[in-house]
Structures are given as structure tokens and as C-alpha cells.
Structure 1
Amino acid sequence: MRTIIEGGFVASVDPVGTEHRAGHVVIDDGVITTVGAGPTAAEQREDAEIIDARGCLVTPGLINTHHHLYQWLTRGYAQDAILFDWLTALYPLWSRIDADLTRAGAAGAMAVLARSGCTTVGDHHYIFPKGSGDIVGAIVESAARVGVRLHATRGSMDLGASQGGLPPDFAVETTDAALRASEASVEQWHDASFGSLVHVAIAPCSPFSVTADLLREAAMLARSLDVRLHTHASETVEEDAYCAERFGKTPTQYLEDLGWLGDDVWMAHCVHLDERAIERYAATGTGVAHCPSSNGRLAAGIAPVRDLLRAGVPVGLGVDGAASNESGQLGIEIREAVLMNRLRTGADSFSVRDGLRVATMGGARVLGRDAEIGSLEPGKLADIAVWRVDGVEHAGILDPVAALGLGAMPPLHRLLVGGRAIVVDGELATAEEPIIADEVAAASRELAARL
């Protein structure tokens, strides 16, 4: 029941950024017990599994704070569209989704996330066609199959096109139905215990697909159930214009008036926040999921991450839906975050260690689990990525953290979730990748045929 990772460059991402050029991590029963320099003591090594990490970078497992797993089945569509046009093109297809198709898509998406260093997956599913089955349950099943930690959200839309919303009427639920189903998902799947593999949050989709009544009631429901809240906010200039025209407010003002700022809330994107909005996020502890590749793919802009961090706002990293980020890999988002934020605010404004912290401890703060995951410290869960940096792509690099934050994404030697090996030498160890790939291809064809 003891595992020792030894000999690698250990980037702990603890509060003071402790690093060991040749260090060790000791794991007992899925929990980190020791992190230090040099080899472990002889008495610790007895009967332990030793993972030789020489030539490797050892980091906390990466935390994905925003995704739409079902979109793994709809990659490559509307390739040159901005957000609103992209959504309009894809809503008719997504409205044919069901639990079986979602199960396949989620497994594919999470397999790729795991292979890119991700140990905790945040998902935002908000389309629930009539008769589609237990979609949240299907996502939970796929997470267990791959072996990752899941933060599922039960999303919803109740503002169809006939009421001035963006989605077609056939893709939305009634307000009452969405609230009942959200409560049922929390009661069935949410586990708040230490080390839990499944958390559930409540997540109406966005200001342009949800009524004020649903936003207000969902916030009250989540707080009565003691779970977190999630939605999209300030993603595009078009969203700003929509909120100004329809509500006479910015997205931040509108959401705050409905009870949607707080340390139990995190928002996706937040590209177009003004100084006042950043102040309100900081004052209330509202978190942000930064999704650089998706924001680039949809030409939404570059989020003001440096300003958010300087203000004290919790910021995590997100892949976003695979239909707006066809890679689906979380590891490469560290490099994307570093490069994009330097484009916005300068070469010295966002370091590779800033990128790693956002991808780990930042995400843990955003999801409210910073006491459990996000850093390599005694007492925390053994969610750990061991990256090879001695191959042809990175051999000789001065700084192993720069291999992850500026170079090509390193291959994984190991990925552990609660001490369990999920990826071994770059391959998924918990399920057969070719089988998952075949299931994804079949499900994609089936969904396209339904349209």
C-alpha cells in the first residue's frame, strides 16, 4: 500500500513553490505522506513500489475546471465561426444526444484528458432532450471507467429562441423540470467526503440561454444543498451586447443581482471583464475557468488572467468543449495560457510556474478542493503526474518546468489518481484505448445520422 516516486525534479506547487531537483514523494494508502529532497530513507522503502522518476518532472495532477465532454462526438464542425454562430450550427445536432452517446463521448474525452496529465475533470453538461436517459449517470460511469476524479455539473437551458434566447425551443427544458432534475442529480451522485471521486454542481448554461428565474432559483437550490454553482460568463463581445440590450447591465452586474457571485461560484471564460467586474470577483471569491485554446478557436479574445490573479481571484485552467478545442488535452493548455497571456500583458507577465499553478492549485481553489488536491504536500490525495523530460523533445532543457510550460507536452511516465496508476508509459492503464476509439467513432456516426 506504499508507493514511492523517486529521483525526479519535484515541483510541489505548495504555497512557497518548493522544488527539489532530485526529490521523492511517498504515498501511503492513496495519500501523500512525505515530499523531500534526495532518496527516501531505507526504512520507508521496505515493501514499497518504487517508481523510478529519473529524467522526469513530477507535478500535481492537472485539474480541468471547464469542459463539455459530450462534444467529443462533434469535433470539426463550424470551424471558422464565432461563438453565437458556432452554437447555432451545433444546437440541432446536440439536441439529439442521449445517455448512451454521451457515455461513449465522455469516455473518449476523459481518456485523452488523462493522457495529458489531467486527474480531475470538470464537466458542464446542459442539454437534456426528452427521453435521453440518465446523462449525468452516464458521465459518472465513464469517469469510473477511465479512473479520473469527476466534478460533474447538472446544467440546463430554459430560454428558447421564441423567448429571445439563442438555443432552439426543442433544446430547452422548463424551469421547474431543470430545477427538479438538478436536485435529483445532486442527491444521487454528489459525494462530499474526503477523497471523493464524484462531486456534482448546479450549472444553468449562460445568460443567453437561461431565464433570470432559473438563475435565481438554481443559486438558492445549490446553497440549500451545499454544492457549488457554475455557468458561462463574459465570454464574447456579443454576450456583452446581448446583456446590455436585454438587461441594461453587464454580464457581471446581471449575474450578481441574481445571487451569482460568491466563493461557491466559478465562471467559464471571463474574457471581457472590466476593472469593476474584476474587483467584484475578487471581493466575493468568485472563481474563473480560463480556456485559452477555445477562446482562440472561437476568436473570443484573451482573458485578463494577470489582472485576475493580482486581484486575488481564483483562476483555474479549462479545455472547454471538444467541439471548440478539438485537441481535448489539458497539458497543452498550460503552454497556451503562458503564450496568450504574454501576448496580452508582456513577456514577463506570466511565467511557466504561473501556468503550472493555475493548472493545479488554481483549479483546486476554483473547485473548492484545495485542501485535498492541487499540490504535492503531506496529507493531500496522491493525484500526481510524472512527465518524461529526457526524450528527444526535451533532453538537456535547462528547466524541466519550462518543458511543460513552453515546450511540446511531455509524455507521461505515470499518472496517479489517489495513488492508483491511470496512465503508464503514455498509455491508459484502466481501459482499452482502441475499444474507446471504436465506440467514439460509432457514436459520432450515430449522432450525425440522427440529424
Structure 2
Amino acid sequence: MTRTIIEGGYVSTVDAAGTEHREGYVVVDDGLIAAVGEGTAPAPLREGADIVAANGCLVTPGLVNTHHHLYQWLTRGYAQDAILFDWLTALYPLWSQIDADLTRAGAAGAMAVLARSGCTTVGDHHYIFPRGSGDIVGAIVESAARVGVRLHATRGSMDLGASQGGLPPDFAVETTDAALTASQEAVERWHDPSFGSLVHVAVAPCSPFSVTADLLREAAVLARSLGVRLHTHASETVEEDAYCAEHFGKTPTQYLEDLGWLGEDVWMAHGVHLDAPAISRYAATGTGVAHCPSSNGRLAAGIAPVHDLLQAGVPVGLGVDGAASNESGQLGVEIRQAVLMNRLRTGADSFSVRDGLRAATVGGARVLGRDAEIGSLEAGKLADIAVWRVDGVEHAGILDPVAALGLGALPPLHRLFVGGRSVVAEGELVTAEEPVIAEEVAAASRALAARA
């Protein structure tokens, strides 16, 4: 691989010290960051290098998406004014018709949009596997390779149908044994734990109101025996709190902890309704949180206590969540959403633009267990890098380039690199043809709607 030098831009490394270079450089060798500094790259490094001029740009780590439902790219615009439980009830019949081919198209569309918004690592939570639907996890892996992003897939599951007191209809769930077997198979087939891996797989039963205690308990045992992470939804809505109180006599956090679901290998989606004791348990166990501000607003779930979580030392990353509850599908805009939402909750000085960028990069990397590899611009880490143009009409003259991400309109991407490979150039995907992906998404959306 040719050496690449990105230089002339404002470099925000998001390292532990918060190092920034007003006019800096990043040197990339064989997919790794070799050097970062102020000014121009040293002469010995320049010979034979591909120079990417970043004048007028902000250079950051690639963004890390810690929670998504890629298949939902095919069901945007439904149940527009519903809260979570009503929204799920409206969409379960449609989602139960999904298969690998439809998921492949939806995932490609969703990941193309994520990449165009600065995302280099995609965390996906797929939990609906209709009988005869094919290798859905494999289809998602294929789409990630097509777009060129790093993937943290999960093999999700639901085994608690309405007849057993769960929220999803019986036709949308699996048996407990089938879910566990399929989860193990997905990990064994697709998970690559090596340094620089493009595909990780986690085990991810869906939620306390769609999964039995047996599945949650056994999934935790399985994941730890396989050496992979655990993911689920938790404390998203007041309705979930009420469900757990009625059915288990506990808060979601108490219920999940009793089943082995707190720990450094666990991350929860949303965490909107976490009280002080729950935050304390998350902090003590190293349990992470995927903060999804736009989706929480779309479904009127509330504003997560992110300031309190961070103060306690809880790992916090950002997530887009499913495009059916966040039709934007862009991760970059979640930085601004996080800044604004958390200031509404805890005050104007409680969550800075750099807090937002940190959550979107190294915070997300920590949540996914990859902070030794990605999330900051430091020598030895993977060259997942976003180069944002901030000299256009939207941002020209802005005092602080980082504020372009945290307070302004999402800047266009000059370049996006994943492991040193160019994925986006001048705002356009270069790894796949966007019009073709768009046509495939439109056709798949029509096909899915016709099935229902």
C-alpha cells in the first residue's frame, strides 16, 4: 500500500490528552497511522507518498456507530407519530417478512449513508430471523465489504412472543434453542478477533420485553465461552420500566444484572431511564452505553443522562439506531444532536462539542472493545480517518473547526479512509456505485411492502 500523508488541516486527534494541531499532518503506512504532528510531515516520510491536501479541512478519527438496525433502511417513514411499543407493534408484521436478499440491499444503503457521514465502523443489531430467510448475518457482512466499512455485527434474537407475555407477535420469534444455536454458528463463521479485523460478531438478544430470561442467561454464558461481546436494548422507555416492574418486580438494570448482563464485555442501547443506582452499577462493572439521541427524540423516549454516565466513568458511544426510528441514517449529525440534547438536560456547559466528538470516536471504540485499535489518531492505530471540508459556504470563517461538527451543519467529507483505504472522496462513495445501491434499496422496499 502506498504511503499516504494527510496534511494542512486542523487535526483533532481525540487522544487521551485531547491533542489538536491547528495545521497538522497524519502519516499512514500499510493501513496504520505511522505519525501525527504539527506542520508538514518530515521530509524522510514524504518520498513516494500520496499527499492528500487537507487545507480548509478538519481531520478526525473515523466515527464509530455503536447501535443500528441496518435492515430498517427498507422501512423508513412508517408509524411516524408513535412511541416505541406502538411503533414496534406496527412494524413487526413487516419485518417478519425480511430475508437475506432484502437485508443485503437495505444494509448496503444504510452503510453507504453512514460512510458518507463520516462513519468507518458500523455496529448493527439484527434480531429478526424468519424461518427460511437465509444467511442474514452473512448478507450484512457482504454489504459491509461492498461499501468498505468496518462491521460489528450481532446475531440478535427474540423468543418471547405475545402468547408468553412478550411484545412481538408469535410469528416473529424463534425458539430459545434455535436462537442460541444460530448465534454460535454466526460467531464461528464470521467473527474475526485479530488486530485490524473488518468483522466482529456479538451475541445480542433483543430486549427484556421480547426475550425470555432463559435466553438472556444462556446467551451470556455462550458469548463468554466464545470470547465475544454482548449487546441488548435496556432502559429505553418508561414503558419498558413498567414492563420490568410488572413482570419481574425489578428495574431493567436489576433484572439484567441478575442474569449476568453487566460487565466490560456488555454494551446497552439507549440507557435513557437509568437512575443513580443503575449508573453506579454500570460504572462499577464497565458496562457501556450506546447513546442514540435522534431516535430517542423520534420515539419520544426521553434524554439519556449522558453527563452523569460520563462523570461516573461509564463508556458512552453514539448510535444512529434503526433508520425506521431515525430516517436520517447519518452518524455525523448525531454529534450535534448529542450536544444539544444533553445541554437541554443538564445545562449549556455540561456537554461540549469535544465531548460529542469523543463519544462519536474513541468513546464508541471503547464501547465496542476496540479502543486499542480505532477511535483516535495515534501512531500504531488503524488508519480510520475522516477529513471534513470546513471552508465551504456552511462553515467558512468558523472560529473553531470542531464546532462545525458539534454545532453546525454536517460538513461534507473531503475524504474518508478505512484502514488506509479510500471509501469516500469529495462527498461521494468510491467503493460502490451509489445510484445502483439506491435502485436496489427502492426495489427491496417495494418488495418487502408487497409481502406484508
TM-score where L is the length of structure 2:
1.00
What does the per-residue CA deviation read over 1:54-75, in whole Å, with 9 as the maximum and x for residues that have no partner? Answer: 0000000000000000000000
Output the CA distance in 1 between the equivalents of 2:195 and 2:209: 36
Per-residue deviation, 1:41:
1.4
Equivalent residue for 2:207? Answer: 206
Match of residue 112 from structure 2 = 111
- Distance in 2 of aligned mates of 1:420 and 1:51: 13
User: Matches of residues 143-162 of structure 1 in structure 2 within 5 Å?
Assistant: 143-162=144-163
- Give 1:111 deviation, angstroms: 0.0
1:149-178 residue CA offsets vs partner (Å, 9 max, x unmatched): 000000000000000000000000000000
Counterpart position of 2:248: 247
**Distance between the aligned counterparts of 1:264 and 1:356, measured in 2?**
23
State the AA in 1 paired with 2:354. Answer: R
Aligned residue in 2 for 1:401: 402
Partner letter of residue 360 of structure 2? A
Q: In structure 2, what is the equivalent of residue 316 of structure 1?
A: 317
Partner in structure 1 of residue 122 of structure 2: 121
1:290 to 2:291 alignment: yes
* Aligned counterpart, 1:40: 41
CA apart distance, 1:427:
0.1
Deviation at 1:231? 0.0
Partner SS for 1:436: helix
Letter in 2 for 1:171: A
> In the TM superposition, what is the alpha-carbon distance from 1:42 to its structure 2 partner?
1.6
Matched, 1:276 2:277: yes
Distance 1:357 1:274 in 2: 24
Give the corresponding residue for 2:384.
Answer: 383
**Cα distance in 2 between the residues matched to 1:358 and 1:130:** 38
3-state secondary structure, aligned to 1:136: helix
Match of 2:196 in 1: 195
Could you tell me how far apart the structure 2 residues matched to 1:257 and 1:401 are?
A: 42
What is the correspondence of 1:347-426 to structure 2 with a 5 Å cutoff? 347-426=348-427
Name the CA distance, whole Å, in 2 between partners of 1:329 and 1:171: 28
Q: Distance in 2 between matches of 1:40 and 1:284?
A: 42
The 2-side partners of 1:316 and 1:386 are apart by: 20
Cα drift, residue 35 of structure 1? 0.3
- In the alignment, does 2:82 pair up with 1:81? yes
Q: Deviations over 1:394-450 (max 9, x none)?
A: 000000000010000000000000000000000000000000000000000000000
Residues of 1 paired with 2:362 and 2:436: CA distance? Answer: 33
Q: Deviations over 1:127-160 (max 9, x none)?
A: 0000000000000000000000000000000000
What is the rounded CA distance, in whole Å, between the counterparts of 2:28 and 2:73 in structure 1?
34
SS in 1 for 2:215: helix
Which structure 1 residue ranges, 4+ long, deviate > 6 Å from structure 2? none
How many residues were matched structurally? 451
Spell out the pairing of 1:325-364 with structure 2 (5 A cutoff). 325-364=326-365
State percent identity of aligned pairs: 87
State the shift of 1:43 in Å: 1.7
How far did residue 376 of structure 1 move?
A: 0.1
1:216-255 mapped onto 2 (5 Å cutoff): 216-255=217-256
Q: Which letter does structure 1 place at the counterpart of 2:429? A: L
Q: CA deviation at 1:25?
A: 0.2
Query: Equivalent residue of 1:124, what SS?
Result: coil
CA displacement, residues 16-41 of structure 1 (integer Å, 9 cap, x when unaligned): 00000000000000000100000011
Read off the aligned partner of 1:163 and give its amino acid letter: Q
Which residue type is aligned with residue 252 of structure 1? T
2:258 paired residue number: 257
- SS of the equivalent of 1:14 reads coil
Structure 2 residue matching 1:125: 3-state secondary structure: coil
Partner of 1:57: 58
1:215 aligned onto 2:216: yes
Aligned residue type for 1:5: I
Under a length normalisation based on structure 1, what TM-score does the superposition of the two structures give? 1.00
- Partner of 2:444: helix, strand, or coil? helix
> How many Å separate the matches in 2 of 1:46 and 1:7?
17
What is the rounded CA distance, in whole Å, between the counterparts of 2:53 and 2:399 in structure 1? 21
RMSD after superposition: 0.2
Distance across 2 between alignment mates of 1:176 and 1:30: 41
Does residue 1:446 correspond to 2:447, yes or no? yes
Cα distance in 2 for partners of 1:377, 1:168 equals: 48
Is 1:183 the counterpart of 2:184? The answer is yes
1:356 alignment partner, SS class: helix
Where does residue 90 of structure 1 map in the other structure?
Answer: 91
